[in-house]
Amino acid sequence: MKGRVRWMFGRCLLCVALSMVTVAAIADTPERILWDKRPINVQLKIGHERLIHFPDEMRYWLPDSIKHKVSVLAANGVLYLRALEPFPRTRIRVQGLSDQQVFLLDVMAGEVATVGDELIVITQESVRNLSKEGASHKTAEDWRIRLTRYAAQQLYAPERLAGGDSAIKRIPLELSTPVPLIRGGLVETVPIASWQGNGLTVTAVKVRNLSMQSLQLRFDKFNALPVLNLNDRLRGDWLTATLQHSYLGLAGSDNDTTTLYLVSHQSFLESSKLTPLNAKQHSGEQHDG
- pLDDT value at residue 224: 56
Regarding whether 238 and 135 lie in a shared domain, the answer is yes
- pLDDT value at residue 32: 79
Whether residue 29 lies inside any domain: the answer is no
DSSP 157-171: S-TTT----TT-EEE
Over range 236-248, report the average pLDDT: 87
Regarding whether 207 and 72 lie in a shared domain, the answer is no
Whether residue 15 lies inside any domain: the answer is no
- pLDDT value at residue 60: 86
Structural domain total, the chain = 2
CA angle centred on 125, ends 235 and 128, rounded to 5°? 45
Q: What is the pLDDT of residues 153-193, one digit of tens each?
A: 888 765 555 567 889 999 998 887 899 999 988 999 999 99
Q: For residue 185, how many other CB atoms are within 10 A of its CB?
A: 14
Asked if pLDDT for residue 254 goes beyond 60, the answer is: yes
Alpha helices in 114-187 (DSSP H): 138-156
Whether residue 17 lies inside any domain: the answer is no
Contact call for residues 193 and 151 (beta carbons, < 8 A): yes
Averaged pLDDT of the chain:
77
Whether residue 158 lies inside any domain: the answer is yes
Range of the domain at 114: 36-122
CATH number at residue 106: 2.60.40.1510
Regarding whether 151 and 52 lie in a shared domain, the answer is no
Of residues 251 and 134, more confidently modeled: 251
Q: What percent of the chain has pLDDT over 70?
A: 73
Domain boundary among 93, 122, 151: 122
Regarding whether 135 and 278 lie in a shared domain, the answer is yes
Q: What is the pLDDT of residues 204-222, one digit of tens each?
A: 999 999 999 988 888 876 6
- pLDDT value at residue 109: 92
Asked if pLDDT for residue 135 goes beyond 60, the answer is: no
- pLDDT value at residue 287: 41
Regarding whether 134 and 104 lie in a shared domain, the answer is no
Domain boundary among 103, 122, 141: 122
Interatomic CA distance for residues 176 and 193, integer angstroms:
8
